[in-house]
Chain A
């Protein structure tokens, strides 16, 4: 097989990293099939692909977490193997994980020390952290415990940890999925400085617009194979998406909203307190969702979304019954079952564990919430034939790729399981649907299908509340948008009267009230 390196003039410096024919097989799937990849010094290189295309597997092999079954790896022109992450770090490879590998109850310094092989004394390390974070504009306090930090700050911890090792290759797996647009812009500045200093950056993201803004080359993976390379600056987001999918992308249209109907959900002066030191308490949250409209609630994770979901679903009962009113009935004191009977359906953010039971089959999972409004239970006995039929209806109606209704929920990919869960709720014809992070970690095709289903539901007269960190998604879906920050909710604005930038500023906390420092201190104790 001709290698791309051989086509370069002989005096050119060798590529920083070259992969030749990397193959990795898992039981039942070929995750990487003869993947070739060349990374040059100082370039920002995008790795694109849908969920399950094999991106994570590939970078885990570069970082030594997994090992290839066959194929060779050349580091600065010399053949090498990476036995483990420590070996990768010795070569000069750093990685910032999508799900941060941080330890909540340890301090910033301790967390960083764990990722270094020569951490040295803690006070000296703290000084080095301060130096690096100032040099790259990544503000960090080394002595703070990680659970106090915002998601953006947590990511800075990971990046500073990598930078302290003077990496020659920095791998970033979906770094902006949890950042505000402003935080993301700041991150890009840092990355550009790094690349200018000669560091190679391998950048994985679903957000095609930022890849077009940041990266100079892209490699596209589909079903474990390299299916193309592109200069993202010359492509459109749509053409990149179609290259990833291997099919045309259909984006859902949001028809203009009719006259808004009666309020289906009214939340008045909702405040919560929690024993959990990691929780964000809601402070005087008020809003309403009307029949036929979609209200979007934006905000970076950890600003009260989980608490709001729990208060709306009935997982946490409220002292004030009137704080949550569903269809005119006070529901704050009611449990999930009673709220479902009032017409509420909800899709939690965690698919496995809250939205579905991983070890149960799809028909059993369909039963779990479906029984409240579908005739699946009779006299206390489960009507299995109907549960199966219900699951089959969901699978057909929402194009869920699964081995029939017997498949365990955990065997489905994230996108397919989410389609199943949303289908289960929508088919119950709810008057009010509350959805958390509907397309988190879901690829473009499935996301478009989910968006269409939500829009159709609202246009058929239901009220829909979407809580999401993904601003692009909220701008596609919502008729109005509010922002949750430090447990407070901003006033809503019609989507067509606002911009991503303005909502982004609100997500960073720029609406009137200053961030609640007292709240932070009480959480610290």
Chain B
């Protein structure tokens, strides 16, 4: 196999590997822009993954699967929202607990589904375009969820920066006391943002179990929720940068698989560490630019709000 022929599949696989990260990161970005830090992304992805998988196996409908996955992710997130927004629980502790809860709950639901195969989604085929050398498969041969994730990037951007609702959401994340004084319902806005984040994480998880590796295995997200969280910071809370970040991490994931496949003599454990190592490195580099973080980070991120205090 020559090197050029490898690039096409690697590119195609990179976009697919980036998709679950992109879904989860976009959702968390909106949540954090509203001033809430939900560390439970990993847990919500797992619940979404197992619920989507189970429904698709039972009904045979992938559409129903993804729909239920989004609902299940949102339902898990609503637990977090009630605890942190209305009962004023600490967001960091609750988020960590939500991840542990999601790991356990998904394993419980998934007990009967281990080892069952699924077909995955059909790939797009446009005669001519999909057959293009190198980029054809990557750009025009993916399934619908990959395109949906990419389409969500401009949509989230337009929502945040061009609509009134997005402006209010950013205002709530920037200064919740002032937003409250102007008469905005801080808690309601944050609640909806957290639900959206949960639904997106659920979709990301379901993409993994129903499409990327169409089967259910315990803890199958293996840290992607955490990478998605890091991506939001990496992107300095900007949707387009989150997409670039997702591709970068997707690329590193795929590359390490191919390096292992080529039989290069590096311990496989070391290669599996690469995406996580890249996360740490990129975060350190980003954090050096304090000014940019201060201008884009929601000032009320992680702070509790009580309307009467």
Binding site for B on A (CB under 8 A): 64-65, 84-86, 89, 97, 100-106, 110, 113-115, 119, 275-278, 525
- Chain B 121-149 residues near chain A, CB threshold 8 A: none
Q: List 19 A-B contacts (CB under 8 A).
A: A85-B181, A85-B183, A89-B183, A101-B175, A102-B175, A103-B171, A104-B174, A105-B296, A105-B299, A106-B174, A110-B171, A113-B164, A114-B167, A114-B184, A115-B182, A119-B164, A276-B290, A277-B291, A277-B294
Task: Report A-chain residues with C-beta under 8 Å of the C-beta of B295.
Answer: 105, 277
Task: Report B-chain residues with C-beta under 8 Å of the C-beta of A102.
Answer: 175, 178
Cβ contact within 8 Å between A101 and B181: yes
Cβ contact within 8 Å between B181 and A97: yes
Taking a contact as CB atoms closer than 8 A, the residue among A89, A113, A275 that contacts B291 in the complex is A275
- Chain B 162-188 residues near chain A, CB threshold 8 A: 164, 167-168, 170-171, 174-175, 177-179, 181-184
Taking a contact as CB atoms closer than 8 A, the residue among B177, B179, B290, B296 that contacts A114 in the complex is B179
* Closest beta carbon of chain A to B180's beta carbon, Å: 8
A84 to B294 alpha-carbon distance, docked (Å): 32
Known: A65-B181, A101-B177, A278-B294. A114 touches B168 (CB 8 A): yes
- Chain B 71-120 residues near chain A, CB threshold 8 A: none
- 12 new A-B contacts at CB < 8 Å, known A102-B178, A106-B171: A101-B175, A101-B182, A102-B175, A103-B170, A105-B296, A106-B167, A110-B167, A110-B171, A113-B164, A275-B290, A276-B294, A278-B294
Q: How many A-B residue pairs have CB under 8 A?
A: 57
Scoring B residues 260 to 291 as 1 if CB is less than 8 Å from chain A, else 0, what string do you get?
Answer: 00000000000000000000000000000011
A64 to B299 alpha-carbon distance, docked (Å): 26
Known: A113-B167, A114-B182, A277-B295. A104 touches B290 (CB 8 A): no
Known: A103-B171, A106-B170, A106-B171. A525 touches B291 (CB 8 A): yes
- Chain B 183-225 residues near chain A, CB threshold 8 A: 183-184
Task: Report A-chain residues with C-beta under 8 Å of the C-beta of B170.
Answer: 103, 106
Task: Report A-chain residues with C-beta under 8 Å of the C-beta of B168.
Answer: 114
Q: Nearest CB to that of A83 among chain B residues?
A: B183
Q: Nearest CB to that of B291 among chain A residues?
A: A277
Q: Nearest CB to that of A161 among chain B residues?
A: B182
Task: Report A-chain residues with C-beta under 8 Å of the C-beta of B299.
Answer: 104-105
* Closest beta carbon of chain B to A107's beta carbon, Å: 10
Known: A103-B171, A105-B296, A114-B167. A64 touches B290 (CB 8 A): no
* Closest beta carbon of chain A to B181's beta carbon, Å: 5
* Closest beta carbon of chain B to A380's beta carbon, Å: 32
Cβ contact within 8 Å between A103 and B175: yes
Task: Report A-chain residues with C-beta under 8 Å of the C-beta of B184.
Answer: 114
Task: Report A-chain residues with C-beta under 8 Å of the C-beta of B183.
Answer: 64, 84-86, 89
Taking a contact as CB atoms closer than 8 A, the residue among B164, B167, B171, B182 that contacts A85 in the complex is B182
Task: Report B-chain residues with C-beta under 8 Å of the C-beta of A110.
Answer: 167, 171
Task: Report B-chain residues with C-beta under 8 Å of the C-beta of A84.
Answer: 183
A277 to B290 alpha-carbon distance, docked (Å): 8
Cβ contact within 8 Å between A104 and B179: no
A498 to B175 alpha-carbon distance, docked (Å): 41
A277 to B296 alpha-carbon distance, docked (Å): 11
Cβ contact within 8 Å between A104 and B167: no
Cβ contact within 8 Å between A103 and B178: yes
A81 to B186 alpha-carbon distance, docked (Å): 22
Q: Nearest CB to that of B296 among chain A residues?
A: A105
Q: Nearest CB to that of B290 among chain A residues?
A: A275
A280 to B120 alpha-carbon distance, docked (Å): 57
Q: Nearest CB to that of B298 among chain A residues?
A: A105
A525 to B294 alpha-carbon distance, docked (Å): 11
Task: Report A-chain residues with C-beta under 8 Å of the C-beta of B294.
Answer: 276-278
Q: Nearest CB to that of B181 among chain A residues?
A: A101
Task: Report A-chain residues with C-beta under 8 Å of the C-beta of B181.
Answer: 65, 85, 97, 101
Task: Report A-chain residues with C-beta under 8 Å of the C-beta of B175.
Answer: 101-104
Cβ contact within 8 Å between B174 and A105: yes
Task: Report B-chain residues with C-beta under 8 Å of the C-beta of A86.
Answer: 183
Closest 7 CB pairs of A and B: A85-B183, A101-B178, A275-B290, A277-B291, A103-B174, A86-B183, A101-B181
Task: Report B-chain residues with C-beta under 8 Å of the C-beta of A278.
Answer: 294
Task: Report A-chain residues with C-beta under 8 Å of the C-beta of B179.
Answer: 101, 103, 114
Q: Nearest CB to that of A113 among chain B residues?
A: B167
Task: Report B-chain residues with C-beta under 8 Å of the C-beta of A85.
Answer: 181-183
* Closest beta carbon of chain B to A56's beta carbon, Å: 12
A64 to B184 alpha-carbon distance, docked (Å): 12
Task: Report B-chain residues with C-beta under 8 Å of the C-beta of A65.
Answer: 181
* Closest beta carbon of chain B to A252's beta carbon, Å: 35
* Closest beta carbon of chain A to B43's beta carbon, Å: 30
A446 to B143 alpha-carbon distance, docked (Å): 71
- Of A86, A89, A105, A275, most buried by chain B (CB within 10 Å of CB) is A105
* Closest beta carbon of chain B to A66's beta carbon, Å: 9
A101 to B171 alpha-carbon distance, docked (Å): 10
A276 to B170 alpha-carbon distance, docked (Å): 21
* Closest beta carbon of chain B to A26's beta carbon, Å: 10
* Closest beta carbon of chain A to B163's beta carbon, Å: 11
Task: Report B-chain residues with C-beta under 8 Å of the C-beta of A113.
Answer: 164, 167
* Closest beta carbon of chain A to B1's beta carbon, Å: 47
* Closest beta carbon of chain B to A405's beta carbon, Å: 26
Task: Report B-chain residues with C-beta under 8 Å of the C-beta of A104.
Answer: 174-175, 299
* Closest beta carbon of chain B to A375's beta carbon, Å: 39
Task: Report A-chain residues with C-beta under 8 Å of the C-beta of B178.
Answer: 100-103
Task: Report B-chain residues with C-beta under 8 Å of the C-beta of A100.
Answer: 178
A114 to B299 alpha-carbon distance, docked (Å): 17
A240 to B167 alpha-carbon distance, docked (Å): 44
A84 to B188 alpha-carbon distance, docked (Å): 15
* Closest beta carbon of chain B to A438's beta carbon, Å: 25
A97 to B181 alpha-carbon distance, docked (Å): 9
* Closest beta carbon of chain B to A55's beta carbon, Å: 16
Q: Nearest CB to that of A278 among chain B residues?
A: B294
- Of A64, A84, A89, A103, most buried by chain B (CB within 10 Å of CB) is A103
A295 to B38 alpha-carbon distance, docked (Å): 49
A321 to B184 alpha-carbon distance, docked (Å): 49
Task: Report A-chain residues with C-beta under 8 Å of the C-beta of B174.
Answer: 103-106
A106 to B167 alpha-carbon distance, docked (Å): 9
Q: Nearest CB to that of A60 among chain B residues?
A: B181
Q: Nearest CB to that of A117 among chain B residues?
A: B183
Q: Nearest CB to that of B185 among chain A residues?
A: A84
A110 to B172 alpha-carbon distance, docked (Å): 13
Task: Report B-chain residues with C-beta under 8 Å of the C-beta of A276.
Answer: 290-291, 294
A85 to B177 alpha-carbon distance, docked (Å): 13
A344 to B228 alpha-carbon distance, docked (Å): 49
A276 to B177 alpha-carbon distance, docked (Å): 22
A516 to B29 alpha-carbon distance, docked (Å): 36
Task: Report B-chain residues with C-beta under 8 Å of the C-beta of A275.
Answer: 290-291
A278 to B299 alpha-carbon distance, docked (Å): 13
A89 to B184 alpha-carbon distance, docked (Å): 13
Q: Nearest CB to that of A523 among chain B residues?
A: B291
Cβ contact within 8 Å between A114 and B171: yes
